[in-house]
Each structure stands twice: as C-alpha cells, then as structure tokens.
C-alpha cells in the first residue's frame, strides 16, 4: 500500500519544464519503471501525468505534457518527503491537491503556513 498526494493543474506542464525542475531537485527519470512516466527521489515516486498512463512502445518516455502529477511513497515510506515534494511542485506551478488520509493533515498544515 502506498500513500499519495494527487496534484491537478489548470494549464499543462510541459515535459521540458518538468525535466528542468527535476534536474534542479535531483529527481531522476526511471525508464525501467512500468508506464514510462515515473520519476524518483529516494523513496518518493512521482508519476508525471495520469498515474494509469502506460507506454509500451520503446523508447519509453513520459507524456509531452501533464495536467496531473501523483507524488507517493511505498508502505512505511517517508511521508514528510512526499509532502515536501508535493509542496515544491505546487510552489513552481499553481494547482490543487488531494491526498490520502495519512497525508491530508501535513498538506493542510503546510498550506496554512503559506
């Protein structure tokens, strides 16, 4: 079971802007992960685009743009790191968020501090 924060944006984020953001934060693309749209930073997993997006045609690449990003971790993962990653994305691009129950309070707390 994973814990996730779901981000949605009115305007799409281009893959080139997203890759620049990732490079500046040591977030790495994982071409070996099923789906072709997954990035990682330690135990934080970030789906660029709809988490159900899958590409099976090489070369595996994320979609050219995305209006959704899912930030998650695995069971017993670092929930604070998930919150920090989601907040960093929302500081760069204006959007709305939803979260699994175990992350709602930390996101709401972070939002209230802004």
More confident residue, 6 or 76: 6
Listed by start position, the domains of the chain span 3-113
CATH code for the domain defined by 3-113: 3.30.1400.10
Local confidence band at 113 (pLDDT 50, 70, 90 cut-offs): very low
Three-state DSSP class for 45? strand
**Mean pLDDT taken over the chain:** 88
User: What was the pLDDT predicted at 86?
Assistant: 97
Q: Between these two residues, 62 and 40, which has the higher pLDDT value?
A: 40
Least confident of 1-5, 26-30, 71-75, 88-92: 1-5
d(C-alpha 71, C-alpha 6), whole Å? 6
Q: Please tell me whether residue 109 adopts helix, strand or coil conformation.
A: helix
């Amino acid at each position: 079971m994973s814990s996730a924060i779901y981000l949605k944006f009115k305007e799409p984020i281009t893959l080139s802007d997203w890759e620049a953001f990732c490079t500046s934060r040591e977030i790495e693309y994982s071409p070996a992960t099923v789906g072709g749209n997954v990035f990682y930073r330690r135990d934080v997993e970030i789906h660029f685009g709809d988490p159900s997006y899958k590409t099976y045609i090489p070369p595996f690449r994320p979609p050219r743009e995305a209006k959704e990003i899912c930030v998650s971790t695995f069971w017993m993962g670092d929930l604070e790191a998930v919150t920090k990653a989601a907040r960093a994305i929302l500081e760069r691009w204006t959007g709305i968020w939803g979260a699994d129950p175990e992350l709602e309070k930390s996101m709401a707390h972070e939002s209230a501090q802004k």
